[in-house]
Structure 1
Amino acid sequence: MNNLELILDGLMRRYKERVPDVNRVISAMKVEGLIKEEQEIENDHIAFRTIGVPHLGIQSLEKIFIHHGYTKKDYYYFEEKKLDAYWYAPPHPALPRIFISELRVKDLSEDAQQIIHSYTDEVTADPVDALNLDNPAQVDNFLHSGLWRLPTYADFSALAAESEYASWTIYNRYYLNHFTISVHNLKEGYNHIEQFNQFLEKHGLKLNDAGGKFKKSPDGLLLQSSTVAGMIAADFADGVAHRISGSYVEFAERRLLPEYQQLSDIDVRREHRREGFEAANANKIFESTYSSQTNK
């Protein structure tokens, strides 16, 4: 493995430890003969959540991946969620795309801003600048370390009342928010999002139904669904232990672009399918960690 693959492998290894649904999905796919080995799954993209304050946010985290050959692509704005985001194309089509979102802290109330800054102001320089980006163990450790002190449950709850994205990120930091199984490359009968959702529900997985159980781009070429985030045991700085949203699993079907409809399956490559993301889809996928979904 090269350095980038080692970093991505470290992210996935710890993510799977925290998100039992990953192995539930993979086991179900093996049981039904969709795959023999986990390595057969194409990872469409992985996603991170960040906080838009000095020294942090997208401009900091993206440095890791741009250093390893990723290319910054389209910008997205989420007015309702108060977020900005970009996606990044990988240096090789076998690698996942990356989606990084950022909380627009200045769009929140004064109270919420004060809570966030009481934590993030502990970071006085861009932490990525202090890393040796060619040392995968160091990068892996950074992506799984706290950048600020553990929040109190009182602060977490106050943020959640205004932005569940803010509360999730203040506790979970840069832990991988989700990875995404490419559905379109699976065998017939499972390679469309509706079929795959039925398969998931048959195996007892709970799907995010915000905006419908699958979200479809206006051009009809990008369809996405996701599990509801599993709950994790969280210990807070004020001694409170509480179960909160962890991470989740996403599923994506990228359909062929109109000019490639006639290609035979054997000739189809990644560049023949719908690229990028869709703000309206992502807006609802974000809610996979929201109490409106996890409390159902």
Structure 2
Amino acid sequence: METKRKRAFDTILQALFTPYRELVPDVQKISKAMISHGIIQDENEIVNDHIAFRTLGIPNLGINSFEKIFLHYGYQKRDYYYFEGKKLDAYWYAPPEDHYPRIFMSELRVSELSEEAQHIIKKYTQDITSDPVDHIDLDDTKEVGQFFYKPLWKIPSLADYNTLADESEYAAWVIYNRYYLNHYTISVHDLPNAYNTIEKFNVFLESIDIKLNTSGGKIKTSEDGLLKQSSTIAKMVAAEFMDSEKAEIAGSYVEFAERLPLPSYLDRKIKTFSRQQRRDGFESANADKIFESTYREQTKNV
């Protein structure tokens, strides 16, 4: 990745992360506690395993549109995932350089929702008659940074939000939040030994009163046992809807990932494993439960 493009992408990531960091209380709470406990000296030492976005699968939006931003900066599209119960498709994207986060991008299969839910989504998105990403200069860092928070459709009514939430909490989250960053992920295995497993780090998190997503258990483990994940429960945030109606809804959250070394490297007496020597990609069963960090069944416990 050439230096100029690298600087540009760094600026874009900063524009994406800054509002998220300011509006998701657990981000700074965890970072400050990690510093005060001597786990890190500075927030910049945290390795970001991946960031995630939610989208709607309708013409001119969804993955085919949104991925253009990251493909432009050298990301490579990798494995496909299907979540039957939640009616979602997803892909992950490998970064152009190891120090950049992976991307996990999901999309709601809108055509599989009820007619009422489809009608609500169409009501808000019907005026999007061309791909909005095609109308921004992907080399303009300010324009791209602003796009993540650009209101592509009007704020929904509270009634429409609740109707969607009753059928698909994912749909409700996206219709209000649009492309807002859903979560970032602390790479646990990159932390000092006393904290470098999900089990150890979860103990630390709960010691500072962080509430963890319990769907599927606090620790979600891949079938091969090499990817372990946990996440906070999204805090409820004050939201204003159409006609100045107000309600508290789920915001974004923080995830934690531990990628264990691949078995083929374990007998080589390696002390520090590289990214390539650890489990890569994602696990649909893990992700299925991580999605629920914004769901009512979890947020009622916060």
The amino acid of 1:184's aligned partner reads H
Is the 8 Å Cα contact of residues 78 and 84 (structure 1) preserved in structure 2?
yes
Other-structure match for 1:48? 53
Residues paired across the two proteins, number: 296
Following superposition, the deviation at residue 266 of structure 1 comes to 4.7
Can you give the 5+ residue segments of structure 1 that lack an aligned partner in the other structure? none
Could you tell me how far apart the structure 2 residues matched to 1:233 and 1:143 are?
20
Other-structure match for 2:89? 84
Could you tell me how far apart the structure 1 residues matched to 2:20 and 2:221 are?
27
Q: Is 1:57 matched with 2:62? A: yes
Matches within 5 A, 1:17-166: 17-166=22-171
**Which TM-score applies when normalising by structure 1?**
0.98
Other-structure match for 1:259? 264
Other-structure match for 1:207? 212
The amino acid of 1:250's aligned partner reads E
For residues 27-61 of structure 1, what are the alpha-carbon distances to aligned partners after superposition, in whole Å with 9 as ceiling and x for unaligned? 11111111001111100000000000000000000
Secondary structure at the aligned position of 1:262 is classed as helix
Could you tell me how far apart the structure 1 residues matched to 2:266 and 2:16 are?
35
Other-structure match for 1:271? 276
Is the 8 Å Cα contact of residues 216 and 281 (structure 1) preserved in structure 2?
yes
Secondary structure at the aligned position of 2:214 is classed as coil
Could you tell me how far apart the structure 1 residues matched to 2:156 and 2:127 are?
13
Following superposition, the deviation at residue 239 of structure 1 comes to 2.4
Following superposition, the deviation at residue 238 of structure 1 comes to 3.0
For residues 264-290 of structure 1, what are the alpha-carbon distances to aligned partners after superposition, in whole Å with 9 as ceiling and x for unaligned? 565421000000000000000000000
For residues 110-141 of structure 1, what are the alpha-carbon distances to aligned partners after superposition, in whole Å with 9 as ceiling and x for unaligned? 10000000011121110000010001100011
Mean CA deviation greater in 7-16 or 281-290: 7-16
Aligned residue among 216, 227, 241 for 1:222: 227
Other-structure match for 2:201? 196
Is the 8 Å Cα contact of residues 153 and 238 (structure 1) preserved in structure 2?
no
Could you tell me how far apart the structure 2 residues matched to 1:38 and 1:215 are?
25
Can you give the 5+ residue segments of structure 2 that lack an aligned partner in the other structure? 1-5
Question: Structure 1: which 4+ aligned runs deviate by more than 6 Å?
Answer: none
For residues 48-104 of structure 1, what are the alpha-carbon distances to aligned partners after superposition, in whole Å with 9 as ceiling and x for unaligned? 000000000000000000000000000000000000000000000000000000000
Other-structure match for 1:248? 253
Could you tell me how far apart the structure 1 residues matched to 2:271 and 2:228 are?
22
Q: CA RMSD in A?
A: 0.9
Secondary structure at the aligned position of 2:190 is classed as coil
Q: Is 1:173 matched with 2:208? A: no
Other-structure match for 2:3? none
**Which TM-score applies when normalising by structure 2?**
0.96
